[in-house]
Structure formats: structure tokens, C-alpha cells
Chains A and B, each alone.
Chain A
């Protein structure tokens, strides 16, 4: 039903009758509508309680976990689309309806990926997610017209980033496709459920299948930008405008990660060492390389690599525990980083910032905004009373339960090391002299300020009564 509504909407869009701004607003309404439908499904239905149903002639499979994944995606997308509504950005980014259209196309792919239960559907959905991303990375050339989007002034970084993204991303797709071919060649099946049944019969003795699933996971890790394959991510995230970074650095990660966590048998029991190794590398590389970085979006890219390491650690535990930890971590990460990107985008409205040092003395310009920025960075660092601590705590709990002592210790070490660069940002905002005196103070759009304040409030006060939120999620996650 969801996918149908999107397809209809894309057809309507292609007629180009409406102004781009209205198209953006309509799509915001539609995504809110989808989120509400998904919420009602989650809270009112017991049909999907412990098992799902096959759809589309068993090409897809829906259970409560898939629906939660879709809800997270739609919720994030609503926020990303809202960002396009703010002040000067609205004028520039919505000069054409392409931006909204591209996002919606990609969303279609994400929904397909989440419900896919077949290797062919999976590959197609991944392609459908990826191509709009490549386009949106290189959508905005460096024109003087596009002010307030957060550009590098003097080079064609957007095009460069888009090209790099395309090449690396298609390499990942090729890996995934090759892996599917290997699996098909070995088993003669493409349906994931059937493959798992076959594996149980053969008692995990299919050698070529192992190669195939390794290739698929390597492809997915490459698309995510996890550590051994991470080099493209900082370049791409830094090269594109900030408003596009918000979109391509947060949203596409959600369906890939949830897909990985929903098909744990895809990884287990053969390949959990692969994700553990990747998590180890991500933690180490993200935390140590981030110390050297002075550009803000590059730094956020490295911090996202650290967080990917944590999520991969929890995905490696998922076969024995449950999906709650992973999904909670993803939600927390999305909330915090969306908050940071919202604030960065609203700073961009008055002054275009690229370097960390350009945030110097930001607290003198806008106290409340800098307060929520500080809270978000503390939360990303995992300092206790804030939301980010709890997500890390649950992951450590899981990995301790499985007696993964070494990687737990490494993850703690890395969270201390990565704390250094978060503290550096907080120092730059607070302790350094004011260079913002000459710039006009920032005036926020109402919608954006509501979103920022809500997320900051959530991050701050989760410590008071976390049970309120856990109880909401309790029912779906009981195994």
C-alpha cells in the first residue's frame, strides 16, 4: 500500500504542474501520513506479532521488525524534507522539483529493501536506493546562486564527490550481484527463506555459498562505508553541500543496517567474524583518524564510522539476543545526528562554515542553539546522563553477555579516544574567543526550531524516565 502510494505520487510529479515548493510540502504531508499509518499498524495489530507474512509471491516478507524499520525511514525522511523548507534554503534548493523527486525515488528503494526476501529483489532495491544518491550528490554545482547550502567555494567538489560515490557504489553493487550469482549457482535458489532452510538441511557445508554471502556482506559494508572500505565516505560527505550531506550520510544507512539485522541467518553462523572484524576496524580507524581532522563534515563522517562500528558490533550479537539494541542505537544515532545537521544548516544560513575553527565562540551568537549543539555532541560521545550513553550501554550489555570481552574493551577505549574530538568541538564553541561578533545572529524557521528543541529535550530528559519510551517498544521486541 505504501509503495503504491509513492508510485502514484511520482507519476503525478512527473507532470510538472505544481511549483517545486508545493511538491515538497505535499511530499512532507505524504511522509507524515505514511509514518502515522505505520505507527497505527505497530500499536494496534497483533497479527504480525511473532512471525510475518510473505507478500508479492514470496518476493517480500513483512513482520513487525520490517514495519519498524520503515517507520524509522519515513520519520527521518520527513525531517530531511522539512529541512528544505527553511528560509534561504527553500529559495535555492527547491528551484526545481528534482531534489524532492530524487529523495522519493530513493525512499521507494528503501521500502523495497526492507521488505525484500529474495536476492533479486534485494539487488534491485539496492540499485534503486543508490542511483538517486549518486545524482543528488552531484545535483548542485557551485553556482553563486546556491547560497546558504554549505559549499566549498572554489572547486567542483560536488561533481567530484558524486563521481567518486558512483564508482565506489557501483563496485559495491557488483560485489552484491556476484555474491547472489554464487549463491544461485550453488543452491539454485534465490529466495532467502528457502536458502536458509537448505542450509539447515546441509548443515552449513556449502562452500561456494560461503563465498557468495561473504561477497554480499562485503558489498553491503562497502555501501555503508564501514572501516576497511571507508575511504570514500569522508570525501563524499565533505564534498557535497551540507543539506545533501544530511540526506546522504544518515538516511541510506538505516535500511542497509536494518536489513543486515533482520536477516541475521545471512551472516550467522558462518560469517559473524566478518562483521566483528569490520566493527573492530571501524572503531579504531574512526576514532583515531578523526583526531587529525579540521573540517566539520569530514569529522562527522569519521564519527559516523565509529558509530557504524558500534552498530556492527550489536549486529554481530543479534543472532543470540534480539533486534532491540540495534534498532535503539540506530534511532538514537539518527536523532542526535539529525539534530547536529539541523543546527549546522541553520548556521549556514547566516555564514557558510566548513572548518571547525569557524565555530569559534558560537555561544556568543546564539546561546540556545549552541546549547543544543553541545548536548548533541556530548550525547554522540556517550557521556552518561544523555541519550547516547544508554544506546552504548545496551550494546555493551549484549556483547558482554556473549563474552566478547576483547571487542567490548576496544569499543570502550575508542569511545574515550573519540571523546577527544567531541570535546574539541565543545571547546571551540565555548572557550575560544568570539569571532561571531560581526555576523548577524541566526534566526530560525519555526518548524526547524521546534524539531531541534524537541530532540534536545529528548536527549536531556531521557535519564528521568527512560521506561516511558522502552515500554512503547517492549511489545514488538519480545522473542
Chain B
């Protein structure tokens, strides 16, 4: 019942929006529907039975089963929290507002389908189709950044290059997942997730299948050799696109790793542990250092999210209770923090029409409100206590220390130093000192942006101070995975 509602509300809103031409009504309808969706999910969250490992709210649509369990509930909560913020962030878009809202609602619908699907093929189909609205969001509403294309500044070509790169890299990766799915289907004759998860797949077969899934999820994460699409897509996407990319698109990889790689192929997940460790260490160190050299603010946040995702994946494959819980919690926390930072950058861009940090200095003189809010989010990004990132990273590090103690754990500890280095550098460069001579505007943030940031801050602090609200949900299913 609830699942059906979750799917129907965005769909009905899209159909309602189609004939309307009044911009204000379109905006209000989209926002209204996403908030209703939020309330429904909150209801599911409240009514959720922590001691029930089964899938709840199952639904059959033409032989395909949909359902919600604790792990997918976390991601659904994240989706519905982010969606109203993403819609609000798009309110000051000038052109084609109707198409914009339809694309965002379509994204919401697709994410709901991804997180509720209990069929591998349906998962693949929705996983792929999430590319289409994102492709249009980047291509149609992409920012007029100072992007460089083959050494020259060309706004349009950079934008389109980014959308191509995003689409083609993820498409190529997920085709390998399709191969694995086809192999599963030819081997077992079913694509039903619940049925397949009861099988003990042969070890040699597991290794091949796992690789197919891993490559597509690694591109989505993104781990290092295949990370190039993320900074480009982030810089070229509009604010809404960046929020959806950072908060939800990257979390698809976490969800996929837990639901598919870990549960279906447990042997291969331990077999390939050295590979994952190497990739995660390289991406963590590389992204942290390259963040220091970036001059585009959005690229700084993009590279920092690569680093955070590396910690998440590392904790996920450390194969114990704390690891998986920490990874889930950290991905939830990162899904709240990085949109907040993107909104801060978006506000600066809207006021000054540039994101190059060389132009910025002494913003705190005229923008006390924004600078204090940004400071809190920067603190959250480097996971100081009281924020949700701290809880997630703490649990993750416990697991990493438990499982791979001497070498990997010590290298990972470096990130505790590296992340504050670039975060503090980023903050000092922009906000402290005398006021920059390049900046001509003297206003602080408006009420809309303030509300957005305050909402996110509220969620970050709430989950940071009362982490048990989420950890309770996770307790049973994670231990089920460990036993499995």
C-alpha cells in the first residue's frame, strides 16, 4: 500500500503538471508532492518494526515484486529528505521550468523504484534509466561555468562534453552488470532477487559475476581509475543536479554493493578484498591531494566526496557488523552534508557569478550568516563530533581497525588529517582576510537559501545527536548479512 503510494505520487504529479502553464502553480505542485512523499516515508519509519527481517509493504506488479526492508528504508528516507531541497534549489531557474520539474519528479520516481525493486532485471532497468533525466538536467540546465574545453573556454561544449561523459561511462559500466544478470538468468532461470539470494552460487562463477557488478558500481561510486565523470558532471550540472548526484546517485553504488555484491556473492567479496583495498586507498589519497590543487569550488566538494565514498566502500567490505552499519550511516550523513556544501557554493555563484576561489577573500565581512553556516557544514564534512558524519566515520574506522589493522588502517588514518587540511584551507581562503577587490556585491543570503541550509543542518544534528534512530533500524538486517 505504502509502496504503491510512493510510486504513484510522483507519477500523478507529473501527469498533473503536464497541462499547466502557470509557473508558480507548477513549482508549488512539485514541492507539495515531494513533501507529501516525505510524510508518507516518515509514517513508514515510525510504524517500522525493528525486529522483523522480512520485506514489508510488498507489492506485485505484473510478476515483479516490490518491497521495503531496513536497508532500503534508509535510502528511501534519504531520497525523500533530499527531493524537496532539490526542488527548492531549482526555484530560481529561468527557462523551461515545467520540463525541469518533470525531470526532477521523474528522478524521484526512478529512485523509489530502484530502492524498492526485488528483481535484478528491474533493478538494472531502473539503474540505467536514472541516467536519462540526469543527462537532460546537465545538458539543458547546465551552469554557464568557466569550463575549459581543449584549452579554450567554451561554455556550451564543456557542458555537453560533461553530459556525454557522464552518460557513456556509466552506461558502459552497467552493461557489464547486464552481462552478469544474463548469466545469472541463464544459470538459474529466474531474476527474482529473494529466490537468488537463497542459492549458494558456485565459487568460480561468483568471481566472474561479482566482477561485472563491481565494475558498474565502481564507476557509480566512483573509485579511482574511472572517476573522471564525477568532477566534470558536478561542475557542469545545475545546483539541483549536483544535489541529486552527490546525495543519491553516488549512494546507488553503496546500495548495490550491499544488496547485490555482498549478499549474492559473499565468497567473491572476500576473494577480491585486496583489489578493493588498493582501489580505495588510491582513491582516498589521490582525491584528498588533488582537492588541494583545485580552484573550482564545486570540484573541491566533488573530489572530497570521492574520498568519503572510498571510506564507505572500505568499511563496507571489512566484513563485520560495525563496517556495514558504519558504511550505511556514513553514506546517509554524506548524503546530507555534501548537498549542503553544494548549496553554499550555489549561493555564492548566484551572487558573484563565479566559482573560482582565486577571486574570493574575506566573505565573512559582508556575509556573517553564510560564513557561519558554511563553517558548520565544513566541520560536518571533516566529521567533528555532534554531526552525523562523526558517528558514521567513527563506526567505519572501528571496523577498518578491527579487520585490516597494521597497514591499511594506518593509511586510512591519514585521511583524518587530510580531510581537515583541504576543508580548512577552502574555508580560510574564501571567508577570512580583507574583502576581495573582485567582488562587487554586499548582500547576505536570502530567506529561501537560509531555510534550505537550516533544514539540512537540523537533520545533520538530529542524526548526529540521536544516531540510534537509524542504528536501531539497521541492527537486525546487518547481522543477517553477516550470518549469511
Please report A residues at the B interface, Cβ cutoff 8 Å. 378, 383-385, 389, 393, 396-397, 400-401, 408-409, 412, 415-416, 419-420, 423, 427, 430-431, 463-467
Chain B residues whose CB sits within 8 angstroms of the CB of A416 once the complex forms: 168, 171-172, 175
Which 8 pairs of residues, A with B, have the shortest CB-CB distance?
A: A384-B128, A384-B125, A385-B129, A465-B62, A412-B175, A416-B172, A431-B139, A400-B182
Q: Is the CB of A419 within 8 A of B168?
A: yes
**From A415, A431, A463, contact of B140 by CB (8 A):** A431
Q: Is the CB of A467 within 8 A of B168?
A: no
Cβ-closest chain B residue relative to A411? B175
Give the secondary structure class of A's interface. Answer: helix
Chain B residues whose CB sits within 8 angstroms of the CB of A383 once the complex forms: 128-129, 131-132, 171
B136 interface contact, C-beta 8 A = yes
- 29 of the cross-chain contacts (CB-CB < 8 Å) are A383-B128, A383-B132, A383-B171, A385-B125, A385-B129, A393-B182, A396-B179, A397-B182, A397-B185, A400-B179, A400-B182, A400-B183, A400-B186, A401-B186, A412-B176, A416-B171, A416-B172, A419-B167, A419-B168, A420-B168, A423-B164, A423-B167, A423-B168, A427-B139, A427-B164, A430-B140, A431-B139, A431-B156, A463-B125
8 Å CB contacts to A: which residues of B121-175? 124-126, 128-129, 131-132, 135-136, 139-140, 156, 159-160, 163-164, 167-168, 171-172, 175
Q: A378-B132, A383-B132 are in contact. Are A464 and B62 (CB under 8 A)?
A: yes
Chain A residues whose CB sits within 8 angstroms of the CB of B167 once the complex forms: 419, 423
Instruction: Tell me, in angstroms, the Cα distance from A341 to B160 when the chains sit together.
Output: 26
Interface size class of B (residues with CB under 8 A): 20 to 34
Instruction: Tell me, in angstroms, the Cα distance from A384 to B167 when the chains sit together.
Output: 13
Chain B residues whose CB sits within 8 angstroms of the CB of A389 once the complex forms: 125
Chain B residues whose CB sits within 8 angstroms of the CB of A467 once the complex forms: 62-63
Chain A residues whose CB sits within 8 angstroms of the CB of B172 once the complex forms: 416
Q: Shortest distance in angstroms between B455's beta carbon and chain A's nearest beta carbon?
A: 32
Q: Shortest distance in angstroms between A181's beta carbon and chain B's nearest beta carbon?
A: 42
Q: Is the CB of B179 within 8 A of A412?
A: yes
Q: Is the CB of B160 within 8 A of A427?
A: yes
B178 interface contact, C-beta 8 A = yes
Instruction: Tell me, in angstroms, the Cα distance from A454 to B179 when the chains sit together.
Output: 32
Q: Is the CB of B164 within 8 A of A420?
A: yes
Instruction: Tell me, in angstroms, the Cα distance from A324 to B168 when the chains sit together.
Output: 30
Q: Is the CB of A384 within 8 A of B129?
A: yes
Chain B residues whose CB sits within 8 angstroms of the CB of A412 once the complex forms: 175-176, 178-179
Q: What is the 8 Å Cβ interface bit string for chain B, positions 44-62, against chain A (1 contact, 0 not)?
A: 0000000000000000011
Cβ-closest chain A residue relative to B139? A431
Instruction: Tell me, in angstroms, the Cα distance from A420 to B165 when the chains sit together.
Output: 10
Q: Shortest distance in angstroms between B143's beta carbon and chain A's nearest beta carbon?
A: 14
Q: Shortest distance in angstroms between A101's beta carbon and chain B's nearest beta carbon?
A: 44
Instruction: Tell me, in angstroms, the Cα distance from A176 to B129 when the chains sit together.
Output: 45
Q: Is the CB of A408 within 8 A of B175?
A: no
Cβ-closest chain B residue relative to A399? B182
Q: Is the CB of B182 within 8 A of A430?
A: no
Chain B residues whose CB sits within 8 angstroms of the CB of A401 once the complex forms: 186
Q: Shortest distance in angstroms between B252's beta carbon and chain A's nearest beta carbon?
A: 14
Instruction: Tell me, in angstroms, the Cα distance from A366 to B128 when the chains sit together.
Output: 28
Q: Shortest distance in angstroms between B164's beta carbon and chain A's nearest beta carbon?
A: 6
Q: Shortest distance in angstroms between B76's beta carbon and chain A's nearest beta carbon?
A: 20
Q: Is the CB of A408 within 8 A of B179?
A: yes
Instruction: Tell me, in angstroms, the Cα distance from A397 to B176 when the chains sit together.
Output: 13
Q: Shortest distance in angstroms between A401's beta carbon and chain B's nearest beta carbon?
A: 5
A sample of 12 more A-B contacts (CB under 8 A), given A401-B186, A467-B63, is A378-B132, A383-B171, A384-B128, A384-B129, A385-B128, A396-B178, A400-B186, A408-B179, A412-B175, A412-B176, A423-B135, A427-B164
Cβ-closest chain B residue relative to A431? B139
Q: Shortest distance in angstroms between B163's beta carbon and chain A's nearest beta carbon?
A: 8
Chain A residues whose CB sits within 8 angstroms of the CB of B185 once the complex forms: 397
Chain A residues whose CB sits within 8 angstroms of the CB of B135 once the complex forms: 423
Q: Is the CB of B179 within 8 A of A397?
A: no
Chain B residues whose CB sits within 8 angstroms of the CB of A431 once the complex forms: 139-140, 156, 159-160
8 Å CB contacts to A: which residues of B97-140? 124-126, 128-129, 131-132, 135-136, 139-140
